[in-house]
């Protein structure tokens, strides 16, 4: 059995990208005590990186509006050990030398709908890995466009981490954002630009499962993880709060977006993007 696992590890090391998460290089005769904790830590931090980080203001585009944005998020992870013990990320990487951050370039499309609704879709690539991120979200603004009141929006959806045969992971999010739009322009009396700061709070529900056989999972004492109450593997610590603050700046048909995000107790991220508004 150890020889088989060493052969699997060698194959994974040759085939893996630098930031692939892999279990094949773990040896059940050596790593069984550390594997569950490493798996749990990586799942939480990777979920914080994968989770949707809305860069839109706390308002919708309107029934005729459309925005296409190209951006990225950088999530800072605990990737280095203390010199005596390997970090969780080092244990689950074929070369034991992961990057200090998870960088995900993202393409997002938003479309306004009637009744102050908005739908969005995103596609991202986890840099230096074979994995990608795919998500879809719905937003509804019960209050928007009033001069004396802040904009309020409710939003929710799901983002999946795909392309890794050894790890299935997904994040459902439900949250709200509050903000205000300040119009301005270079010509007196004509506002052609808009500055929209916002803050948001989102509840993340994470689920994950190793893509290993039952025998391999039993040998490493691994099992699925889920923040969903109906799951046989329910763990309340897989429900995280994500706090966010940022702004959306639009001038004519161009937009710039910048925000900072903190998955409480897990990891911090920064996001930025450029968009075309139609």
Say if residues 157 and 42 touch (Cβ distance below 8 Å): no
What pLDDT score was predicted for residue 11? 43
**What pLDDT is recorded for position 3?**
41
* Residues 53 and 73 sit within 8 Å (Cβ to Cβ): yes
Tokens of 264: 């409480």
Q: Quick check: 241 pLDDT over 80? A: yes
Contact at 8 Å (CB) between 70 and 254?
no
**Confidence grade of residue 110 (pLDDT, cut at 50, 70, 90):** very high
57-66, 77-86, 169-178, 216-225 — which is least confidently predicted?
Answer: 77-86
Predicted TM-score (pTM) of the model is 0.88
Domain of 171, in residue numbers: 2-277
Average pLDDT over residues 142-153: 93
177-201 average pLDDT score: 82
**Lowest mean pLDDT segment, chosen from 63-67, 144-148, 190-194, 249-253:** 190-194
If one counts the domains in the chain, the total is 1
Per-residue pLDDT for 7 more than 70? no
The pLDDT of residue 145 is above 90:
no
Mean pLDDT of the chain, nearest integer: 88
E-assigned strands of 27-166?
A: 66-76, 101-113, 117-125, 132-143, 151-162
Q: In the predicted model, what is the mean pLDDT of residues 58-80? A: 92
CATH number (domain holding residue 273) = 2.40.128
Q: What percent of the chain has pLDDT over 70?
A: 90
Q: What angle do CA 110, 263, 271 make, to 5 degrees?
A: 45
pLDDT of residue 14 exceeding 70: no
What pLDDT was estimated at residue 54? 87
């102050």: which residue's tokens?
116
What lies within 8 Å, CB to CB, of 95 at 6+ separation is 13, 16, 18
- Average pLDDT, stretch 2-24? 56
């Amino acid at each position: 059995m150890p020889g088989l696992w060493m052969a699997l590890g060698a194959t994974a090391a040759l085939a893996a990208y630098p930031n692939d998460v892999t279990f094949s290089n773990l040896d059940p005769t050596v790593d069984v005590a550390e594997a569950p904790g490493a798996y749990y830590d990586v799942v939480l931090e990777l979920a914080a990186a994968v989770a949707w980080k809305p860069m839109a203001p706390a308002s919708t585009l309107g029934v005729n509006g459309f925005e296409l944005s190209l951006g990225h998020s950088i999530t800072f992870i605990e990737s280095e050990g203390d010199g005596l013990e390997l970090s969780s990320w080092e244990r689950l990487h074929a070369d034991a030398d992961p990057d200090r951050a998870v960088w995900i370039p993202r393409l997002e499309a938003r479309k306004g709908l009637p009744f102050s609704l908005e739908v969005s879709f995103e596609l991202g690539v986890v840099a230096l890995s074979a994995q990608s991120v795919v998500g879809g979200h719905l937003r509804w603004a019960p209050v928007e466009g009033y001069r004396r009141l802040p904009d309020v929006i409710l939003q929710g959806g799901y983002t999946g981490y795909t392309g890794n045969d050894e790890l299935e992971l997904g994040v459902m999010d439900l949250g709200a954002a509050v903000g205000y739009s300040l119009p301005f322009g270079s010509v007196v009396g004509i506002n052609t630009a808009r500055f929209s700061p916002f803050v948001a709070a989102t509840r993340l529900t994470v689920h994950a499962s190793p893509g290993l056989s039952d025998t391999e999972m039993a040998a490493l004492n691994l099992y699925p993880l889920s923040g969903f109450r109906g799951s046989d593997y329910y763990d309340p610590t897989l429900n995280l709060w994500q706090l966010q603050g940022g702004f959306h700046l639009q001038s004519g048909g161009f937009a710039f977006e910048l925000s900072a995000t903190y998955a409480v107790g897990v990891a911090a991220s920064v996001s930025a993007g450029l968009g075309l508004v139609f």
